[in-house]
Amino acid sequence: MTVDTQDQTTSADTNLKIVEGTTPTIYNDLNDQYNVSTPDSHEIQVSPPMPSDDNIVDLNGVVWQGQTGATKGEHIVPNTAYNLLEVTSTDGNEIEDARRYRQVLSDDSGQIKVDTGDLDPALYFIDIDDLDATLENTFEIVTQDFDVEFTTAQVDQGESTTVSVNSNRGSFPVLVSANGELLGDDLTQSFVKSGSFELVDQHPENAELITIEMEGDTTESFFADGISPGTYTLDFEVADTGVSSTEVVTISSNDGNGGSSELPVDEEVYDAVASLTHSDEVTGSDLTLLRGRLLDGDNVIEGVEVSGGDYTLLQGHLLS
């Protein structure tokens, strides 16, 4: 196929069949955006050269959806529009059919950057003059799965819990914050210095944010060191793909006997705490909630969760 851009002509010397509709409108200024229509897609726009970004990956092999990818080579003409193609069929190592997804622009240095946030999971190929339409010159967009879970979401001060990271990706940087309720130093102490995660960035410009390294399908440790008692919402966001996970953890003051010295003061707070942590189970009936305690006959059971006629012992304090 042939794509005209100003006085430049880019021609792919292959048998690649391109499904396309109208010829794109050409502007004198390549930084201007223009619409390109295809028979089976919505209107799409040329992507202008992207600003400089240190967090860029090569447009080759697997590229995680949301990453910024870049490619540069002797066949790329600076300040030129190229077709970004979605591969629809292959024949062995050859690309047989492709659909024009949108156009991208090279910058002054001849580099093409692509924001992959809006690319569907598929194989893609940038149609560049003299570049063979083979699988070696494609990149694949893959969606990252990501979830963070605390084994026990109620942790006594000075104690630790296991953090499970589940992802289909190897290692990756994760932004961690607590909705402004914890400082970066607190997070660093609990996740890195006393915990087992690796610190990537302390973010001097943001005192409530840190970046740590995570790996898919691994377990690490979180240590409740120096954090005031309370319930915290921890936000985890993968730095380069934007996928995120949220976990709620309650830090309890330690009474010296392995239990909490404080009980919830009303049913609403109690329910929020009780839904987080479960320990030994006992059964009973006709239970009454009173300021964080359940009354069952002559026994007072502290810190339990009600579920119908059954209850779950949280703190392990059984008083007669």
Would you say residue 18 has pLDDT above 50? no
- Is position 73 within any domain? yes
Output the pLDDT for position 142: 97
Same domain, yes or no: 12 and 128: yes
Among 24-28, 49-53, 287-291, name the one with the lowest average pLDDT: 24-28
Local structure of 187: helix, strand or coil: helix
> Residue range 231-239: average pLDDT?
97
**CATH at 236:** 2.60.40.10
pTM: 0.65
Q: What domain range is 305 assigned to?
A: 267-319
> Residue range 83-89: average pLDDT?
96
Same domain, yes or no: 92 and 26: yes
Same domain, yes or no: 294 and 173: no
Same domain, yes or no: 68 and 96: yes
CA-to-CA distance for 78 and 292, rounded, in angstroms? 69
Structure-block tokens of residue 111: 């580099």
Same domain, yes or no: 152 and 109: no
Average pLDDT, the chain: 73
- Is position 241 within any domain? yes
Same domain, yes or no: 121 and 168: no
Would you say residue 306 has pLDDT above 60? no
Would you say residue 241 has pLDDT above 50? yes
Would you say residue 311 has pLDDT above 70? no
- Is position 258 within any domain? no
Would you say residue 216 has pLDDT above 60? yes
What type of residue sits at position 244?
Answer: S
List strands edge to edge, sheet with 198-201: 154-156, 244-252, 230-238, 171-177, 210-215, 198-201
Same domain, yes or no: 49 and 101: yes
Same domain, yes or no: 21 and 132: yes
Same domain, yes or no: 134 and 159: no
Same domain, yes or no: 137 and 169: no
Query: Could you tell me which residues come within 8 angstroms of residue 232 by beta carbon, excluding any fewer than 6 positions away?
Result: 178, 179, 181, 182, 248, 249, 250, 251
Q: Count structural domains, the chain.
A: 3
Local structure of 310: helix, strand or coil: strand
- Is position 189 within any domain? yes
Same domain, yes or no: 122 and 32: yes
Query: Residues of 26-61 as b/e, b for ≥16 C-beta within 10 angstroms?
Result: eeeebeeeeebebeeeeebebbbbbeeeeebbebee
CA-to-CA distance for 188 and 207, rounded, in angstroms? 11
User: Radius of gyration (Cα) for the chain, nearest Å?
Assistant: 28
- Is position 222 within any domain? yes
- Is position 257 within any domain? no
**CATH at 9:** 2.60.40
CA 238 to chain centre: 4
Beta strand 304-307 with 310-313: parallel, antiparallel or unpaired? antiparallel
Q: Which of 94, 115, 142 is at the close of a domain? A: 142
- Is position 261 within any domain? no
Answer yes or no: are the C-beta atoms of 36 and 100 closer than 8 Å: yes
Same domain, yes or no: 174 and 225: yes
Would you say residue 9 has pLDDT above 60? no
Q: Which of 222, 252, 282 is at the close of a domain? A: 252
Q: Tokens 């949301």 — which residue?
A: 66
What end-to-end distance do the CA atoms of the chain give, in Å?
Answer: 85
**pLDDT tens digits, one per residue of 157-168:** 989 999 999 999
* Position with higher pLDDT, 294 vs 115: 115
